[in-house]
Amino acid sequence: MIDAQLGSQVGALLRHTAATVVLPSYQHLQDSEISEKGPGDLVTVADRRSEEALTAGLSDLLPGSVVVGEEAYAADKSVLARIGGPAPTWIVDPIDGTANYAAGSGPFCLMVALVDAQGLAAAWIYDPIDDLMGYAVAGGGAFLGDVRVEPVAPLPADRLRGVAAATYYPANLRARVEGGGDRLGEVTNGQRCAGREYLDLLAGRQQFAMSWRTWPWDHAPGALLVREAGGVVRRLDGAEYVVAADPGEGLLAAIDDQTWRTVAGALVP
């Protein structure tokens, strides 16, 4: 299903949407163009326009496919049921890191994953500020720009750096993170942009990222990128992450199995 031409076309679509829809409004949004979908959950006119452009473009690139977008879900919760259906499914985050984008800061990313009958088939994460594209095809490796990301040797615990943003953690997990972080090199609160966290895992800037909320548009693209780079993405109980209509809760991505086990031992109750 995924060939070099389709992979290149999706990357070009992300770049075009960023250049024509997302960046022109960056740092130029009016108050009336920013609203809340829920408490603290922002959406902008650029999110909606970006998703419209990506949905149309992806549907044209792969006839017969369906799209599950973050903003479409906000309007109609039933769209999640498309995941796991018979049609190839595009999962779209039109602007990941909307709170940063709305504040006129960064990072923020545009993200797409393709799911077929075998699971995650391909993924793209694009940071338009740094003009950095992460791309992966199942079984074909992960790339940052044109450079293939190779597996790296595990680091000792006291040199591991990563994110455990505790905003949505339940009390027991929050307490464990607060108490176990001193067993690792550095545990940060993150950048409010899942896509950038995954790109930084591939770039070697950090070695793990732990989340509680696991919406598919936030994690499906990054999960394939990390796996194709030799890493692992699992639920906090150790089960492998699977993209599903039920998003579940709790996820830990790491650059390799040993790192996953070390971090889970320090931070997971």
Residue numbers in the known binding site are 70, 93, 95-96, 218
**Which residues, listed in sequence order, are joined to residue 148 by a DSSP beta bridge?**
143
Sheet (strand 109-116) strand order: 66-69, 89-96, 109-116, 119-127, 132-137, 142-144, 147-148
Q: Are 207 and 115 in contact (CB under 8 A)?
A: no
Looking up tokens 């995650």 gives: 120
Backbone angles phi, psi at 212, to 5 degrees: -100, -50
Token pair belonging to 218: 């936030």
Token pair belonging to 5: 């031409």
Q: Residues annotated as binding site for Mg(2+)?
A: 70, 93, 95-96, 218
Neighbours of 115 (CB within 10 A): 28
Token pair belonging to 123: 């993924």
Q: How far apart are CA 26 and CA 38, in angstroms?
A: 22
Strands (E), 10-118: 34-38, 41-44, 66-69, 89-96, 109-116
